[in-house]
Structure 1
Amino acid sequence: MSLVTLKEVLQPALKQGHAVAGLVTLGWEDMRAYVAAAEAENCPVILQAGPSCRAHTPLPILGTMFRHLAEEASVPVVAHLDHGYTIEECKQAIECGFTSVMFDGSRKVLEQNIAETAAIAAMAHAANVSCEGEIGFVGYAGGESSAGTDPEDAARFARETGVDAMAISVGNVHLQTDRAGGLDEARIRAIEAVTDIPLVIHGGSGVPLEQRTRLARQSKICKFNIGTELRLAFGTALREAVNGDPDCFDRVQILKQTHDPVMEAAREALHALKSA
């Protein structure tokens, strides 16, 4: 069984100079391809169930799927709740077998974010589950704007919440469909200077591959969340499968054709974060 906690993969990453990919799942086809990619790259992988995934598939089902894949995998697999917005959601994920929960209080005032994140971290740790928190709001392409992380706020957040990983806002944006963006490395260095906690980048698809690799090896960023570029790979493969044979109506046969393209896209994301 290769089911592990977030802390178990991020602490070695911090010490050894690499990062782990948090791959955003939407269904069985992509999560299975992600584990196959991790096995091909011989590296850990974090399977993430975000809000849109949870709206489509109930948490108990997702927990069972993640755990089944982990038990069959030859590499470490983390079952991670991404963007949990309430203590009830995080509690349910823990009860459903997730080994890591991310509480997103980034829209709240600092004191409230710290208090609620600390309570969820304590609950998670009591169940031997890891907890990720977020300080500084990460915006969305074409939507809400980001609010950059203040280094002093980050130091206080890390110190007072007891989280195992801290997501920060340093120029990253969710749902970006190209890699034209870039991270504010000066802000990253300022945050690193005041905390030793593993750092997390949400919206990793918008970060150029070269910068991901360099920061994975030369900074305290130990986790990059990757979703949009994998959704694009899945959507492209699905379109080609449907349009390639108008007489094929079997969804299993159609969805099978997404496996290899999604696995290859996931391999690229995983490979970029490995140590030198």
Structure 2
Amino acid sequence: MLVNLNELLPSAAVSDGAVACCNVFGIEEAKSIIAAAESLSLPVILAVNKDMVDLAGVEAMGGLLVPMAKASSVPVVVHLDHCYEEKIVYRAIHSGFSSVMFDGSQLPLEENIRRTRQVVDVAHAVGVSVEGELGSVPYEEGRDHIKSMSTIPAEATVYSQESGIDALAVSVGNVHRKTEANSPIDFELLKQIEMATTLPLVIHGTTGIAEPDLLKLKQQRVAKFNVGTTLRMAFGNAIRECMAQEPNKYDSQYFSGEAMPALQAEAARVIALLAARRRPLIK
């Protein structure tokens, strides 16, 4: 069933668990991730990132993912990840996305608030949830123009109240696209942010965070973890292994199909790891 963030995150924020938000790049990832969530009877968020927006466009991705979400036996959010342009956000909303992220983290606070508020007003009018970011989560590789800047608690209060967002992505030492789990999480800063806002919090760069820290984070008000690299690694490594074993095959669909069980297994591991110990009932 297709849902938005507001149907999942408020309860997750006050539980000892969170919802996994998994990057998808095509039908293989979408099918594998939804199957993993269904096997656990847990909700999941499918995220479309900037790379897929640039390659396929939000209309094509919405056309692919929204029907799959609606057909699922568990709640599924179709979410537009890090988007810096309002026109693309509005196209995503028109294409059926149930949630969007307008990322104004590279802007001055006042402009971030103003532009995010405009997106929120449009999105909320049609039942679409909105995530924003304050501070700036850096990238291990690629997107060198993205700043590395921790979230300032006092600004989080103002931004949360004036922007109208439903979830707040924070920068507390987490880093996008890391292949090793060694990001140093500033739990004291996170505590200060939790005191500054009542919103559900979001952590990007989950692959780079050590499991003990993930287990600790999910017991805070962190309600959503964005996951990408570990899923791509599982899928890519399985494809490589299959191609090495069958060098005379050339059908990409065949290799992707052979690798999907590995992707589903990794997705299930992540979804279960982040979930609350006492599982919410799926209605």
Band the TM-score falls in, shorter-chain normalisation: over 0.9
Q: Please name the residue that 1:9 is paired with.
A: 8
Question: Displacement, 1:251?
Answer: 2.2
Query: 1:29–1:258: 8 Å Cα contact kept in structure 2?
Result: no
Superposition TM-score, scaled by structure 2 size:
0.94
Deviations 1:248-271 (A, max 9, x none): 122221110111000111111111
For the residue of structure 2 that corresponds to 1:32, the secondary structure is helix
Q: Please name the residue that 2:54 is paired with.
A: 55
**What letter corresponds to residue 251 of structure 2 in structure 1?**
D
Deviations 1:200-254 (A, max 9, x none): 01111111122212221x2110001000111111110111121110111222211
Q: Please name the residue that 1:211 is paired with.
A: 213
* 1:255 has 2:256 as partner: yes
Distance 2:234 2:249 in 1: 21
Q: RMSD of aligned C-alpha atoms?
A: 1.1
* 1:78 has 2:80 as partner: no
Question: Displacement, 1:22?
Answer: 0.8
* 1:174 has 2:173 as partner: no
Q: Please name the residue that 1:273 is paired with.
A: 274
* More moved, 223-232 vs 53-62: 53-62
* 1:113 has 2:115 as partner: no
Deviations 1:79-132 (A, max 9, x none): 000011111111000000000000000000110001111111111001110000
Query: How many residue pairs are counted as aligned between the two chains?
Result: 274
**What letter corresponds to residue 138 of structure 1 in structure 2?**
V
Q: Please name the residue that 2:281 is paired with.
A: none
Query: 2:106–2:147: 8 Å Cα contact kept in structure 1?
Result: no
Percent identity between the two aligned chains: 38
Question: Displacement, 1:16?
Answer: 2.8
Deviations 1:169-201 (A, max 9, x none): 000111111112231100000000111100001
Deviations 1:15-65 (A, max 9, x none): 333100110111111111110111112111000000011122221111121
Distance 1:163 1:116 in 2: 11
Q: 1:201 aligns with which of 186, 200, 203?
A: 203
Q: Please name the residue that 2:280 is paired with.
A: none
Distance 1:149 1:214 in 2: 19
For the residue of structure 1 that corresponds to 2:8, the secondary structure is helix
The answer for unaligned runs of 5 or more in structure 2 is 278-283
Distance 1:58 1:161 in 2: 27
